[in-house]
Copies of this chain bind each other. A is one copy, B any other.
Amino acid sequence: MNFHGGNIYEYNEDILDFSSNINPFGVSKKLKDEIYKRMDEVARYPDINYKRLKDNVARYLSVRSDMVTVGNGAVDIIYRAVSSIPKDKVFIMAPAFSEYRKSAEMSGKEYFEISAFDFSKKDFDCDFFDRNIEDNSIIIVCNPNNPTGKAIEKERILKLLDSAKEKNSFVILDETFIEFTCDEDKYSMVSSCLYYDNLIVIRAVTKFFGIAGIRLGYGVCKNSDINFKIENNSKPWDVNTFAVICSDVVFWDNEYIEKTREWIDSERKFVYENISKIAGFEIYETNSNFFMIKTEVSSDIIQKKLLKHNILIRQPKGFTGLSNNFIRVAVKDRLSNEKLINALRSEFVG
């Protein structure tokens, strides 16, 4: 059973998809032009060592190329990291993406999902999470977290990381949504990868750069033993040529990046303010491009009613620790956001 957003293919492909958290600007003009111009390169195999791709990622993140591993989406790196790190237990900060536990299952590792979100404080209790982690473990944290949208400040992650070090444990940090915080200095641990050998930070171009279909994820890690294992725990040519080409363009597409920041800044306020006014919908603040909402009626009823408006939302299935009275909605363009807000109002108000 697949528990994922974005599975519009089971519905009408023209459905308004709030279940998947992709940048609504989609594929940038610059990338489209680059791909069209360089389509002949696709005849050849990509470089089996992905040198240029790794150099591009390294330049984007100001790290060394030998710290970079690349894969078929963030999920590929997560699976390969979980199976490569020589620890048998996996502790997942929950609620979280179902692929973390699936990666543990596939590697035959025992996993524990620690529900560390304090719903009253609307924040993660990192100390509580830390107290529940055993020695010699793999720790998986998503920051900003999916599905809550909440980002944890660097200082708190550093504390977890130091504690993990003492426990001889390794931290996998999924920063897939980090660019949407618009404040990487405050939240991202990429620069700490230069100092900690028990940390891998994983990212992708999927969400922020609006190219989920291109399949490009990457990891940054100082520990060369782990990188070697992750590299060897793959099939040749895992990353396609279009993904390689995209790495030449998107990280430096400042127009697209700026436009996206302006959009997320304004639309996240707009959606928050409007949904907070709807009785029966408790919306949580977000640092990302989606909102978790606590609802009085069940998510099934909400989904059913919104489907009449051709709107798809993300139900909490697959997120451990979330009852059926939660939904997740993406932040989209103004017109779409208005449609969602209006549909919620018309179905649930008055």
Residues of B within 8 A of A238 (CB): 72
Those of A186-225 within 8 Å (CB) of chain B: 210-215
13 pairs, A vs B, C-beta closer than 8 Å: A2-B236, A6-B44, A6-B45, A20-B45, A23-B43, A26-B40, A44-B213, A72-B238, A72-B240, A73-B235, A75-B236, A213-B240, A215-B240
Contact mask for chain A residues 100-128; partner B; CB cutoff 8 A; 1 contact, 0 none: 00000010000000000000000000000
Report yes or no: B47 in contact with A22, Cβ–Cβ below 8 A. Answer: no
How far is the CB of A163 from the nearest CB of chain B, in Å?
A: 30
How far is the CB of A126 from the nearest CB of chain B, in Å?
A: 28
Q: Indicate if A248 sits at the interface (CB-CB under 8 A).
A: no
Interface residues of A (CB under 8 A from B): 2, 4, 6-9, 17, 20, 22-23, 26-27, 32, 35-36, 39-49, 51, 72-73, 75-76, 79, 99, 106, 210-215, 233, 235-238, 240-244
Query: Of B23, B44, B236, which contacts A20 at CB under 8 A?
Result: B44
Report yes or no: A44 in contact with B22, Cβ–Cβ below 8 A. Answer: yes
Residue picked from A17, A26, A212, A233, most chain B C-beta under 10 Å: A212
Residues of B within 8 A of A73 (CB): 235, 237
Residues of B within 8 A of A214 (CB): 42, 240-242
Report yes or no: A36 in contact with B32, Cβ–Cβ below 8 A. Answer: yes
Query: Of B2, B41, B240, which contacts A48 at CB under 8 A?
Result: B2
